[in-house]
Chain A
Amino acid sequence: MPFAEKLSSEPLAEKNSCWRRIGVWGDKSCPELAEQVHCANCPVFAEAGRSFFDRDAPEDYLREWAGVLAQASAPHEETVSALVFRLGPQWLALPAAGVVSVSELRPVHRLPHRSGKIFSGLVNIAGELQLAFNLHALLELPVEAPLHLSLSAQIYPRLVLCRREQAAFAFLADEVYGAAALVLAQMQTGPSESNSLATFSRGQFAFKRRTLRLLDDELLAHALARNIATGFYS
């Protein structure tokens, strides 16, 4: 039994394994729990975690690293860090500087006589009420999209909250990929799905074999603010 032999050399920290005996996974009798609340906050636990690394590296692991680190870093180029998301069939990007949070879906409360095609209503994000907009409508994009466009194994619609100066706005994205650095030099112009998409985008990028359009956040915020204003005073 070579495996059993290999495991017989247990590290000292593991032998202690207090979290299993008296911690939250044990009988919860550890006096430290009163202060730390959870073993994950406890220095003993952290120490055990660190001591885990006092072991031989798995085979090939270090060699893999050597390959990664050896690669010459790309020449310094002007990039823009952006949140990449999808509205219907179109992948879009918003400069990350203006993105406040990406969260799970929450119910949007319609405002009588205010909610319209573009302004959906109010939504509660982290305890604050935010204006929610329908970017699909603004950019004239359909909601349905072919599956092969997706970048994730599991597709979750998300609520994206952006802030531009004092004005914040939230919108629903059909899928959020995450942050990506877009090399501005690679930006191209190209045909767009709709006129308004062309209006609000600065240009397009090839991104993971899909076409991605970088949105002009300033223009977008301005358009949304104007929509609200006309909505309120009309």
Chain B
Amino acid sequence: MRTPFKLLLRHKVTGLALVSALTPVLALLLLLGWQEGDIRGVVQNQFQERVRGELGAQLRGLYGMLDTANGLLQSKVDASLNVAHDLLGRAGALSFGPETVGWDAVNQSTNTTTRLNVPQMKLGGRWLGQNDDFTVANPVVDQVKQLVGGTATIFQRINDAGDMLRVATNVEKLDGRRAIGTFIPASSPVVQAVLAGQTYRGPAYVVNAWYVSAYEPLRDATGKVVGMLYVGVKQEADATLRDAIAKTKVGEHGYVWVAYGNNASRLPPFILHGGGATAGVALDTAKDATNGKAVFPPLIQDAIQAPGEIKFSTHTWRDAKDPADNSSYYDKDVAAVYFAPWDWVVGLTAYDLDTSNVRDELSGEFSRLRWVVTIGALVILAAIGFVAAYLGGLIAKPIAQATGVARKIADGDLTADVTGHGQDETGQLLAANRDMVASLNRLLTQVKRSSIELISTANEISAAAKTQDSTVQDFGASTSQIAAAVKVISATAEELVATISNVSDLAQNTAALADTGGRQLDGMKGSMQTLAASTSSIAQKLATINDKARAITTVVTTITKIADQTNLLSLNAAIEAEKAGEYGLGFGVVAREIRRLADQTAVSVLDIEHMVREMQASVSAGVVEMEKFTGEVRGAAGEVGTLGGRLSSILQQVQSLLPRFGLVKEGMSAQSQGAKQINEAMVNLTDGARRTAESLREFDRAANNLHGAVEVLRREIARFKVSENRSTGLTSIIFPKRKSGN
């Protein structure tokens, strides 16, 4: 143990120093690594923002350019419209027929041909004709072209639905003829607006090019919309606009593109593609390499939702324009804006490639910083290690010396020479050791002397305790016997009390039962009386019914008279009728009817009599029964009364018995209580004796323990080598032998 302890202290000191040096270095490295990620993110965002700002500015410029161009075209359209208006006004009023003209009208959206006959459309009374030849002049439309250079068409409404047929135009078809004979179906938004009396403005696809156009309703004298006037200027009349857009530069690799917006039917979807690939192919099919989603359609939709606002998205994909390495994909920022008047989406695609070198430089700086910090930390660590090892040795040496002295004392060698030097903490430690050895020597000499006296005293106490113990045990046995006898007396007394209690309870129950019976009999007596009262009331009612029945017989007598009179009348009537001969025939019939009536009356009287008889019979029977019943009830009531009297006398006797039972019970209880108290006193006494015996035994054990303790003390002291050399005196002390069985 001695060598590791020495090394351990020295190592501890060295380790402490090293750890103190290493912690800030590691913290610095961790901080550096953590910050690097953050800083990279910030830099990345800053870059993207810069790129997007740049793209936005460029797009805003392009948007302004388109807006200006559109404004110019729009004013040109307005001028054309005014001119056409003026020309129409001068040519005279619109009218139709009566002559008709046949057309093979082509529906421009479905391309189906319909053969139809419509009235000739006339301007100032002159038919506009069916002219598709440019060598033949057309009124108004040709004049518009001459004066302002735009295209113009006059439409005729060909049905109630509002389908509009081109009847005169200066627009040239691909085959060099005038573009007439096609019609715009009424479902088109253009026609819808015109039929509603509004001027429609917007892009229009005429023959094979897009026009900035305006459609205006034409009305007849009654104000009904009978046709419409179209004027338009080619959207990209100036090719320089397209060039200007195409020349837009986006970083080193980026490009500009233009796509159609809402009208998906317009193909190809990309008008302009600055990416160097064929227009409408590469951009349209581009898919993000990370998630496989289409790149352009969502962005274009997003832009259309908010015309004039610039929308951004970031993707990774391969353009046809991308640098030669076929396997590589490039991160790109795309920005787009929707130009509503032309339904154009103008966009810019920027390559992250163009900005990546700046980011790479930043990353290099971070790596260098990390290396410098690491090497610096290692150098400092080595220096501190050396210094710490030397200082550790200096601190550990005196402590090791003090430890050796303490070890000898622990082993009982108080003779060790403790020589201390120096005024530092280790020197003070050695001096304290020296003082401690001297004190121990003095203490041990004193203890050896006292222990001899202590042992003799313990022996005397032990002997006295033994004597007392046996006396107490005798006393315990006799008290137990007395207690047992008292317990028997007490139990017997309690049994007797319980028996008396039972008897008393029974007597009480009997009294209660008799009481209840008496009360029930009282109730029964009441019911009997009520019953008797109701029976006599019923009897009275029956008598009333009987009276009423008798009254009915008076009525019966009256009816009897009537029946007799009726019968007589019928007989005489029949006789009279017979006398009247033929004239009395009807009378005879009446007479027979009267006789039938008399029969019925008589039978009714019979029935009434029958009923009355039955009623009276039942009433009489009822009266007899009631009287019998009343008699029985009265008899029963009397018996109940007698029974009640007998019961109450029993009740009285039992109740007079009760207090006597109580007295007996109280006496017995008192006796039992006394026996119980004696018993408790005896138990207490026995318990006291037992406790005394126990404490004596306890005392004896304590005396023995004292012996043991002194013995141990003696042995311990014997281990010490005391410098006065009096240890031999201890051997003369003899411990008395302990009695067995304690």
A and B touch in the complex (CB under 8 A): yes
Contact present for A53 and B549 (CB under 8 Å): no
**Does B620 count as interface, using CB distance less than 8 angstroms?**
yes
Contact present for B606 and A53 (CB under 8 Å): no
Contact present for B561 and A46 (CB under 8 Å): no
> From residue 32 to 88 of chain A, which have CB atoms closer than 8 A to chain B?
40-41, 45-46, 48-50, 52-53, 55, 57-58, 61
CB distance from B590 to the nearest CB of A (A): 13
Contact present for B596 and A17 (CB under 8 Å): no
CB distance from A167 to the nearest CB of B (A): 22
Contact present for A4 and B605 (CB under 8 Å): no
Residues of B within 8 A of A52 (CB): 560, 563, 602-603, 605-606
Contact present for A53 and B620 (CB under 8 Å): no
Q: How far is the CA of A50 from the CA of B612 in the complex (A)?
A: 21
**Does A19 count as interface, using CB distance less than 8 angstroms?**
yes
Known contacts A53-B564, A58-B557, A58-B561, A1 near B616 by CB under 8 Å: yes
Q: How far is the CA of A13 from the CA of B560 in the complex (A)?
A: 16
Contact with A along B545-560 (1 / 0, CB 8 A): 0100110010001001
Contact present for A49 and B599 (CB under 8 Å): yes
Residues of A within 8 A of B172 (CB): none
Residues of B within 8 A of A57 (CB): 564
Contact present for A3 and B549 (CB under 8 Å): yes
CB distance from A172 to the nearest CB of B (A): 25
Contact with A along B347-373 (1 / 0, CB 8 A): 000000000000000000000000000
Residues of A within 8 A of B563 (CB): 52-53
Contact with B along A140-182 (1 / 0, CB 8 A): 0000000000000000000000000000000000000000000
Residues of A within 8 A of B561 (CB): 58, 61
Q: How far is the CA of A157 from the CA of B510 in the complex (A)?
A: 87
**Does A126 count as interface, using CB distance less than 8 angstroms?**
no
CB distance from A73 to the nearest CB of B (A): 14
| Cross-chain contact of B610 among A17, A50, A53, A58 (Cβ < 8 A) | A17
**Does A218 count as interface, using CB distance less than 8 angstroms?**
no
Residues of B within 8 A of A13 (CB): 606
Most chain A beta-carbon contacts within 10 A, residue among B606, B609, B613, B616: B606
Known contacts A3-B549, A3-B550, A4-B620, A49 near B603 by CB under 8 Å: yes
Residues of B within 8 A of A20 (CB): 607, 610
Residue of B nearest to A52 (CB): B602
Is chain A's binding surface mostly helix, strand, loop or mixed? helix
Q: How far is the CA of A14 from the CA of B606 in the complex (A)?
A: 7
Contact with A along B572-604 (1 / 0, CB 8 A): 000000000000000000000000101111110
Residues of B within 8 A of A45 (CB): 599, 603
**Does A185 count as interface, using CB distance less than 8 angstroms?**
no
Known contacts A4-B616, A7-B613, A53 near B602 by CB under 8 Å: yes
Contact with B along A1-14 (1 / 0, CB 8 A): 10110010010011
Residues of B within 8 A of A61 (CB): 561, 564
Q: How far is the CA of A50 from the CA of B570 in the complex (A)?
A: 12
Contact present for B596 and A46 (CB under 8 Å): yes
**Does B26 count as interface, using CB distance less than 8 angstroms?**
no
Residues of B within 8 A of A7 (CB): 609, 612-613, 616
Residues of A within 8 A of B605 (CB): 52
| Cross-chain contact of B602 among A1, A3, A49, A58 (Cβ < 8 A) | A49
Contact present for B564 and A14 (CB under 8 Å): no
Q: How far is the CA of A25 from the CA of B606 in the complex (A)?
A: 14
Q: How far is the CA of A41 from the CA of B593 in the complex (A)?
A: 11
Q: How far is the CA of A40 from the CA of B620 in the complex (A)?
A: 34
Known contacts A40-B600, A53-B564, A53-B567, A48 near B616 by CB under 8 Å: no
**Does B42 count as interface, using CB distance less than 8 angstroms?**
no
CB distance from A204 to the nearest CB of B (A): 30
Q: How far is the CA of A61 from the CA of B568 in the complex (A)?
A: 14
Residue of A nearest to B558 (CB): A58
Residues of B within 8 A of A4 (CB): 613, 616-617, 620
Residues of A within 8 A of B612 (CB): 7
Residues of A within 8 A of B546 (CB): 1
Q: How far is the CA of A53 from the CA of B571 in the complex (A)?
A: 14
Q: List 24 A-B contacts (CB under 8 A).
A: A1-B620, A3-B553, A4-B613, A4-B620, A7-B609, A10-B613, A13-B606, A14-B606, A17-B607, A17-B610, A19-B603, A20-B610, A25-B607, A40-B599, A45-B599, A46-B596, A46-B599, A48-B606, A49-B598, A49-B600, A49-B601, A49-B603, A52-B563, A58-B560
Chain A contacts to B: CB under 8 angstroms: 1, 3-4, 7, 10, 13-14, 17, 19-20, 25, 40-41, 45-46, 48-50, 52-53, 55, 57-58, 61
Chain B contacts to A: CB under 8 angstroms: 546, 549-550, 553, 557, 560-561, 563-564, 567, 596, 598-603, 605-607, 609-610, 612-613, 616-617, 620
Other A-B contacts than A14-B606, A46-B596, 20 sampled, CB-CB below 8 A, are: A3-B549, A3-B550, A3-B553, A3-B616, A4-B616, A4-B620, A14-B610, A17-B607, A17-B610, A19-B603, A25-B607, A40-B596, A40-B600, A45-B603, A48-B606, A49-B598, A49-B603, A52-B563, A52-B602, A57-B564
